[in-house]
Amino acid sequence: MRNDPVVQVCGLVKRYGGKTAVDGLDLVARAGITAVLGPNGAGKTTTVESCEGYCRPDSGTVRVLGLDPVREAAALRPRIGVMLQSGGVYSGARADEMLRHVARLHAHPLDVAALTERLGLGSCGRTPYRRLSGGQQQRLALAMAVVGRPELVFLDEPTAGLDPQARRATWDLVRDLRADGVSVILTTHHMDEAEQLADDVAIIDAGKVVAQGSPEELCRGGAENTLRFSGRPGLDVTSLLKALPADSTAAELTPGSYRVGGKIDPQLLATVTTWCAQHGVMPEKISVERHTLEDVFLELTGKELRG
């Protein structure tokens, strides 16, 4: 599945007045599901809108399915599906009408009735868009993005504000798209969503990609891990620390419960158990905790709030 890039962004720059929204961003997305993460204002939407052809870059190149999204929009549009964060729908139109209208614009659309049922929109087909709940509007936007059987779908925060059931239904639909050979680029603030769905994750901060890889690669690479074990209370952690590599930490968190921080590899595990053996300690409940995507995200993008 992971062959030619479906999206190739090179040196993308976009400024709004004095504000640089995207600052020389490079991104390659291949077939499958790519999640784009980043703090508020990092430049995700601007990047995705540049790929959709809705935003004209100040400099840099963007290719989507090998095409320039602005200059070759007519050729690209029928091949992609777009779910915007909001807007793009006439507020008086009924959900059903909207979806059928979009379906008619495509040569081989999905079955509209089956899709509405699947996304829990069956009961509100006759409801005008403005009267739909936020979650229903969100699901209708998703349905409109996928009804034309695109080769590539852009989903901007597809599960923002959805209840857990609708979130699961959305995840299942995204997985099915992937199984049908459709590529998906999605932005999200939900780390679990990226971990659950994405083959590849790109983390954007201040208009640049600061890390990219599979969720496993990102959680493995660079981030420190934690080793925990239990033993008798009051062990000499200063002595343990002396046996460990220089950048490690060691602490007794609660009586008899110990945590070693740093680069946890087989050698470090052996050092800890050897130290325990030398001190007549039987370490129990030894566990190594990998960092989550959220830990990695916060390490890379900082913990302060963004505007």
Tell which one of 1, 2, 4, 40 touches ligand ATP (CB under 6 A). Answer: 40
Residue type for position 57: P
Rounded Cα distance, 79 and 48, in Å: 16
Residue 90 binds ligand ATP (CB under 6 A): no
Residue 285 binds ligand ATP (CB under 6 A): no
Beta carbon nearer to ligand ATP, 45 or 212: 45
Residue 305 binds ligand ATP (CB under 6 A): no
Tell me how far, at minimum, the Cβ of 48 lies from ligand ATP, in Å.
8
Beta carbon nearer to ligand ATP, 13 or 241: 13
Q: How close are the terminal C-alpha atoms of the chain, in Å?
A: 37
Beta carbon nearer to ligand ATP, 41 or 256: 41
Tell which one of 2, 19, 285, 303 touches ligand ATP (CB under 6 A). Answer: 19
The pair phi, psi for residue 100, each rounded to 5°, is: -65, -35
Other CB atoms within a 10 A radius of the CB of residue 82 amount to 21
Give the interface segment with ligand ATP, choosing from 37-45, 117-125, 250-258, 262-270 (CB under 6 A): 37-45
The pair phi, psi for residue 138, each rounded to 5°, is: -65, -45
Tell which one of 46, 212, 248, 301 touches ligand ATP (CB under 6 A). Answer: 46
Give the interface segment with ligand ATP, choosing from 15-23, 96-104, 144-152, 227-235 (CB under 6 A): 15-23
Residue 45 binds ligand ATP (CB under 6 A): yes
The CA–CA distances, whole Å, from 195 to 37, 208, 264, 295, 297 equal 11, 21, 22, 12, 12
Residue 41 binds ligand ATP (CB under 6 A): yes
Beta carbon nearer to ligand ATP, 183 or 187: 187
Binding site for ligand ATP (CB under 6 A): 16, 19, 21, 38, 40-46
